[in-house]
C-alpha cells in the first residue's frame, strides 16, 4: 500500500503542476525558476548525498555498464523496426521516445523515496551512464532524420556542464578518496535532496501539453509498449543473466521502467521533429507509468 500511495501522490503532483500551468499561476517565468531550482539544486544535492560515501568501484561494475549498454541498444533496435514505416517527422520522435527515459526528474527521486541507501547510489550511476548514452543518440537521430543543422559543440558542452553529471562525478570522487563530509553539510544535502521528487513532478506536470488531435493511437501505443513495457522487461532479463547484486538489479530495472523524458519534447522542437506529437507521448507514457511502476516496484521489491 505505501508504494501505491506514493505513486498516487506522484500522479496528484503531476496534475497539480499541469493545473497550475493551465491556470496561469505557474507561467513561463515561474516554471523556469522552478526548473532551475530542481535541476541545479535539488537533484545535484540528492545525487551527491547518495554517492559521497561510496567509491566508484563499489557502484559501477563492468556488469552494470554492460547491462545498461545492452538494454539501450536492444530497445533502440526494436524501436527502429517497429517505427520503420512512420513518416519522418513522427518516426524520429517515436523512435527516441521509445528508449529515452525520464531518469532525472522521475526515476532517481522515485527510487530515493521508495528504496533509499545503496539502491539510490546505484540509480545515480545509472542516471549518469545512461544520460551519456541516450542524449547524444537522441540528438543524432532527430537531427539526421529531419536534416536539421545542429551545433554539436554547443550540445556537447551542455552535456559536459550538466549539473547532474557534475554532482555525480563529485560524489564519486569524494567517496573514492574516502573523504569525510561534515554532518551539517550532509543534513543540508538530505533536506535539499528530499525536495527533488515534488519539485521535479511539478516541473514535469507544468510541461505537459496535450491536444487530442495530435494523438496517434497506433504509434503512441507502440511507444508506450516499448517504453513502459519492453524496456524494463529487457532490463529484467539482461540483469538477471548478468547475475548482478540485488541493489544493482533493482535500481536498473526501475530506472528503465520510467516514462519518456520531457526533454525529448524539447529536442523534437529544436531539431525538426513533430513536437506536438512528442508532447502527447510524454503525457501518455507518464500517465501509464503510474500503473506500470507500481507493478514493477512490487515485483522487484
Residue 213, pLDDT score: 61
The CA R_g of the chain, rounded to the nearest whole Å, is 18
Residue 95, pLDDT score: 93
Alpha helix ranges (H) inside the chain = 2-23, 28-37, 43-51, 56-59, 62-82, 88-97, 108-114, 117-146, 152-160, 163-176, 183-193, 196-207, 217-224, 231-241, 246-256, 263-270, 275-300
Torsion angle of the four alpha carbons 263, 267, 269, 274, in this order, in degrees rounded to the nearest 10: -100
Count other C-beta atoms under 10 Å from residue 69's C-beta: 14
DSSP 210: -
User: Can you say whether the dihedral through the CA atoms of 69, 161, 42, 182 is positive or negative?
Assistant: positive
- Identify whether the C-beta of residue 115 lies closer than 8 Å to the C-beta of residue 243: no
- Identify whether the C-beta of residue 189 lies closer than 8 Å to the C-beta of residue 48: yes
The Cα 18–Cα 23 span in angstroms is 9
The Cα 243–Cα 248 span in angstroms is 10
CATH of the domain spanning 2-300, picked from 1.20.1530.20, 3.40.980.10, 3.40.50.150, 1.20.120.1780: 1.20.1530.20
pLDDT averaged over 10-residue windows placed end to end, the chain, 301 residues: 71 82 83 86 88 85 94 95 81 92 89 87 93 88 74 68 86 86 86 83 77 72 95 96 92 95 84 82 88 90 74
From residue 126, how far is each of 44, 116, 239, 248, 276 by CA, in Å? 14, 15, 13, 9, 29
Q: Distance between the two ends of the chain, CA-based, in angstroms?
A: 13
Residue 277, pLDDT score: 86
The Cα 293–Cα 291 span in angstroms is 6
CA atoms within 13 A on the CB side of 51: 33
Residue 230, pLDDT score: 96
Residue 122, pLDDT score: 93
User: Residue 54: which of 132, 125, 153, 152 has the closest Cα?
Assistant: 125
Domain residue ranges of the chain, discontinuous segments joined by + = 2-300
Torsion angle of the four alpha carbons 219, 123, 287, 86, in this order, in degrees rounded to the nearest 10: -10
Residue 270, pLDDT score: 78
From residue 55, how far is each of 186, 193, 243 by CA, in Å? 17, 20, 21
DSSP 38: I
Amino acid at each position: 500500500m505505501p508504494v501505491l500511495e506514493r505513486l498516487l501522490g506522484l500522479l496528484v503532483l503531476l496534475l497539480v503542476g499541469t493545473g497550475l500551468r493551465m491556470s496561469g499561476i505557474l507561467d513561463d517565468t515561474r516554471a523556469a525558476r522552478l526548473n532551475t531550482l530542481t535541476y541545479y539544486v535539488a537533484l545535484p544535492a540528492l545525487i551527491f548525498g547518495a554517492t559521497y560515501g561510496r567509491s566508484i568501484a563499489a557502484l559501477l561494475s563492468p556488469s552494470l555498464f554492460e547491462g545498461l549498454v545492452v538494454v539501450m541498444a536492444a530497445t533502440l533496435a526494436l524501436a527502429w523496426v517497429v517505427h520503420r514505416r512512420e513518416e519522418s517527422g513522427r518516426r524520429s520522435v517515436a523512435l527516441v521516445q521509445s528508449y529515452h527515459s525520464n531518469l532525472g526528474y522521475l526515476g532517481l527521486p522515485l527510487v530515493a523515496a521508495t528504496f533509499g541507501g545503496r539502491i539510490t547510489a546505484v540509480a545515480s550511476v545509472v542516471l549518469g551512464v545512461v544520460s551519456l548514452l541516450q542524449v547524444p543518440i537522441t540528438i543524432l537521430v532527430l537531427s539526421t532524420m529531419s536534416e536539421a543543422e545542429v551545433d554539436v559543440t554547443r550540445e556537447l558542452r551542455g552535456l559536459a556542464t550538466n549539473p547532474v553529471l557534475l554532482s555525480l562525478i563529485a560524489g564519486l570522487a569524494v567517496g573514492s578518496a574516502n573523504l569525510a563530509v561534515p554532518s551539517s553539510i550532509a543534513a543540508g544535502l538530505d533536506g535539499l535532496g528530499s525536495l527533488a521528487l515534488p519539485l521535479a513532478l511539478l516541473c514535469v506536470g507544468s510541461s505537459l501539453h496535450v491536444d487530442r488531435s495530435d494523438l496517434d493511437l497506433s504509434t503512441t501505443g507502440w511507444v508506450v509498449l516499448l517504453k513502459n513495457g519492453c524496456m524494463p522487461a529487457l532490463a529484467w532479463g539482461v540483469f538477471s543473466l548478468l547475475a548482478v547484486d540485488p541493489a544493482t538489479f533493482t535500481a536498473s530495472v526501475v530506472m528503465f521502467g520510467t516514462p519518456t523524458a520531457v526533454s525529448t519534447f524539447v529536442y523534437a522542437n529544436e531539431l525538426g521533429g513533430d513536437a506536438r506529437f512528442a508532447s502527447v507521448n510524454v503525457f501518455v507514457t507518464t500517465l501509464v507509468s503510474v500503473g506500470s511502476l507500481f507493478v514493477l516496484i512490487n515485483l522487484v521489491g
